[in-house]
């Protein structure tokens, strides 16, 4: 840690040069490995295309995420949930939930207010559109959730429109909703078709839409709650400090 001495500084520079050389070697090896990779580049596109009619959606990426590799996506939602819990656990007390005595601080700029006022509903609408369009075009639960969370972040900066985060159980319910919907769907599919995560083919689209809606809510809530936990605590106006 102590780099004050000239000797140490020179040593640190030498270490950095060695590190840079090492990283260059790593890059070279990676490039060589990828260039020497002789396997065919076909990937799994053919298999996905062949199975697409039975997936319930028309967009291959959504089909992979919500049907063919649904287990991965469930774990991805679990990662989001864990992060939301961990950031919330290390945040200051009262950082996430809206407290009853929380009063908006001095009004921010009118420009921000009008931007939030006009843009946030539109952003939520775009989020809903992304969720819906995921069935046959790029889009889906994660894009929609990110969009809605971004709307929440934007609104967060305006004291007048700052989203209210209800205390404890409602928030936790929304956070868990996506993972729970996935787990429930997996078990229900197991009961109905006998295979874990194999939705009934005829109604697969409806299953996917239901899971995606729950996932959207969870993704948006997890991202926004995490953001709220990280933001510096400015919840009390200066006069009350």
Partner 1 sequence: MNGTTIFTVCGILLFAIGLYGALAARPLLRRILAANIMGNGVFMVLVAGAYLPADGGAATGDPVAHALVLTGIVVAVSATALGLQLVCRLHELASGDREPDP
User: Where on the chain is the footprint of partner 1 (CB under 8 A)?
Assistant: 15-16, 19-20, 23-24, 26-27, 30-31, 34, 41-45, 48, 60-61, 63-65, 68-69, 72-73, 76, 79-80, 82-83, 86-87, 90-94, 142, 219, 222-223, 226-227, 229-230, 232-233, 236, 241
Phi, psi of 164 (to 5 degrees): -85, 125
Q: Which is nearer to partner 1, 16 or 117 (CB)?
A: 16
Taking a C-beta distance cutoff of 8 angstroms, is the pair 120, 113 a contact? no
Least separation in angstroms between CB 101 and partner 1: 9
Q: Which is nearer to partner 1, 46 or 194 (CB)?
A: 46
Least separation in angstroms between CB 3 and partner 1: 9
Least separation in angstroms between CB 117 and partner 1: 27
CA atoms within 13 A on the CB side of 205: 13
Least separation in angstroms between CB 118 and partner 1: 27
Query: Quick one: which H or E segment has residue 188?
Result: helix 169-193
Least separation in angstroms between CB 113 and partner 1: 26
Q: Which is nearer to partner 1, 87 or 171 (CB)?
A: 87
DSSP 8-state class, residue 236 = S
* Strand, coil or helix: 97: coil
Least separation in angstroms between CB 68 and partner 1: 8
Q: Which is nearer to partner 1, 190 or 230 (CB)?
A: 230
DSSP 8-state class, residue 165 = -
- Please tell me the distance from the alpha carbon of residue 173 to that of residue 13, in angstroms, as a whole number: 51
Which letter, b or e, does each residue of 82-101 get, where b requires 16 or more Cβ atoms within 10 Å of its Cβ?
A: eebbebbeebeeebbbbeee
Residue of 96, 72, 107, 104 whose CA lies nearest to 182: 72
Q: Which is nearer to partner 1, 138 or 163 (CB)?
A: 138
- Please tell me the distance from the alpha carbon of residue 55 to that of residue 58, in angstroms, as a whole number: 8
Assigned token pair, 31: 């490039």
- Please tell me the distance from the alpha carbon of residue 55 to that of residue 204, in angstroms, as a whole number: 6
Q: Which is nearer to partner 1, 73 or 158 (CB)?
A: 73
């Amino acid at each position: 840690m102590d780099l004050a001495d000239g000797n140490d500084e020179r040593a640190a520079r030498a270490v950095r040069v060695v590190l840079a050389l090492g990283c260059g070697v790593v890059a070279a090896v990676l490039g060589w490995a990828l260039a020497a990779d002789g396997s065919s580049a076909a990937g799994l596109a053919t298999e996905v295309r062949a199975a697409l009619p039975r997936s319930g959606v028309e967009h291959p990426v959504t089909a992979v995420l919500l049907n063919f590799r649904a287990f991965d996506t469930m774990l991805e939602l679990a990662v989001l949930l864990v992060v939301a819990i961990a950031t919330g656990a290390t945040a200051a007390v009262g950082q996430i939930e809206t407290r009853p005595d929380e009063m908006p601080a001095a009004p921010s700029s009118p420009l921000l207010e009008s931007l939030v006022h006009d843009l946030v509903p539109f952003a939520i609408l775009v989020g809903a559109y992304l969720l819906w369009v995921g069935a046959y075009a790029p889009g889906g639960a994660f894009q929609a959730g990110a969009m809605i969370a971004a709307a929440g972040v934007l609104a967060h900066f305006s004291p007048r429109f700052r989203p209210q985060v209800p205390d404890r159980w409602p928030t936790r319910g929304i956070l868990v909703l996506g993972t729970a919907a996935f787990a429930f769907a997996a078990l229900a599919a197991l009961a109905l078709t006998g295979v874990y995560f194999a939705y009934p083919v005829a109604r697969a689209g409806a299953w996917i839409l239901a899971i995606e809606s729950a996932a959207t809510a969870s993704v948006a809530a997890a991202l926004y709650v995490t953001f709220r936990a990280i933001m510096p605590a400015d919840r009390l106006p200066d006069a009350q400090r």
